[in-house]
Amino acid sequence: MLRRISSGGGQERWPDMGNLKIQDLSKSFTREDGSEMAALDHLSLDIADKEFVCVLGSSGCGKTTLLRLIAGLDQDREGQIILDGEEMHGSSPKIGFVFQEYSLFPWRTVIDNIVFGLEMNGVGREERYRTAERYLELVGLKQFRNSYPSELSGGMRQRVAVARALALEPVLLLMDEPFGALDAQTRNMLQKELLEIWEKTRKTIVFITHSVDEAVFLADRIIVLTPRPGRVCQIFPIDLKRPRDRTSVEFAQVRRQVLDLIGQHCTLQ
C-alpha cells in the first residue's frame, strides 16, 4: 500500500526535534450547575523526540482532554506544556492533529484537503501542491486525488486525515483514537501503515486509544491514566521488536502483562 517517497524532497521546516514535556497539568471543567469537575490532576509526562507513545485509559478519564490541551484546542489549564523548550499556548503548526471522527472538509477534494494547511500558512501554490502530492503518495491514495471525502471509505478518509496533518511537517503528531470507528481488519491495516509512515517521517506521536491490543502493537511506551481525574498510573515500555506480530506468543505475553498491571494498579473498564 505504501510507496517509498523520493528522499531529499522536502526540507524540514523545524529543527529535527519533537520532545514534549508536560508538568503538573491540571484541568477542570465547569458543569451546568456551576460545580467544578476535575478532568486532569497534576499530570506530568516526558515524551522523547521521535517516540511513539500510546495513552491508554477508560472513557472519560481525560485522555482526550490531555490531547486537546497539548494541541491548544482547550485552554485555561494549570501547569506547563513545553515542546522543544518552548511553552505552548494555543495551536501551533508544529503540532498536527488527527481527530477521532471524520474531519475532512467534505467540500474539498482529497488533494485540496491535504493542501489546506499549507494554503493557510501562506505556502505558494506550486510548492503546496508539490508537498501535498508527496503526502498523498505516502498514504497510498494517489488514484483518489480528485475524489471527494464522501466517495471514500472510512479507512481512506483517516489516511487522508493523516496526510493532511503531516503536510505541514509538524514535529509532533497527536492522534485521538483515529481508528476507533473502523472495522477490525481496516484498523489493523492502518496501524501497520501508520508505523511505516512513522518510520519514514520520524515524528513524535502521541496516540490515544482504549485498546490494549492497539497500544501494544504501536507504542514504544504505553502510558495508562487513572479514571477521572486523569493522572499517570503506569508507564510500560514495550520492548518487542518491530515489526510486531500480534499473533505471536511474545505479543500475547506483553499484552497479558499490561492487562494484569492495569488490573492491579489502575481501574480500567
Mapped onto helix, strand or coil, the DSSP state of residue 91 is coil
- Identify the residue among 59, 91, 257, 267 touching another protein (CB under 8 A): 91
- Identify the residue among 18, 57, 96, 230 touching another protein (CB under 8 A): 96
Residue 139 Cβ vs another protein, minimum distance, rounded to whole Å: 16
Pattern 104-143, another protein, x by CB under 8 A: xxxxxx------xx--xx----------------------
- Does position 251 interact with another protein (CB under 8 A)? The reply is no
- Does position 18 interact with another protein (CB under 8 A)? The reply is no
The residue (of 40 and 161) whose beta carbon lies closer to another protein is 161
Phi and psi torsions of 205, nearest 5° = -125, 130
Provide the β-strand partners of residue 207: 54, 175
Q: Are 224 and 57 in contact (CB under 8 A)?
A: yes
Residue 148 Cβ vs another protein, minimum distance, rounded to whole Å: 4
Q: Which amino acid is at 240?
A: L
The 10 Å Cβ neighbour count of residue 263 is 10
- Identify the residue among 2, 5, 38, 73 touching another protein (CB under 8 A): 73
- Does position 103 interact with another protein (CB under 8 A)? The reply is yes
- Does position 164 interact with another protein (CB under 8 A)? The reply is yes
Residues whose CB falls within 8 Å of the CB of residue 96, separated by 6 or more in sequence, listed in order: 165, 166, 168, 170, 172, 173, 174, 203
Phi and psi torsions of 156, nearest 5° = -65, -40
- Does position 95 interact with another protein (CB under 8 A)? The reply is yes
Mapped onto helix, strand or coil, the DSSP state of residue 245 is coil
Provide the β-strand partners of residue 54: 207, 222
The residue (of 60 and 106) whose beta carbon lies closer to another protein is 106
Q: Which amino acid is at 244?
A: R
- Identify the residue among 8, 9, 85, 90 touching another protein (CB under 8 A): 90
Distance (Å) of CA 211 to CA 167, 184, 188, 246: 28, 11, 12, 13
Residues near another protein, by CB under 8 A: 71-73, 90-91, 93, 95-97, 99, 101-109, 116-117, 120-121, 148-151, 164-165, 168
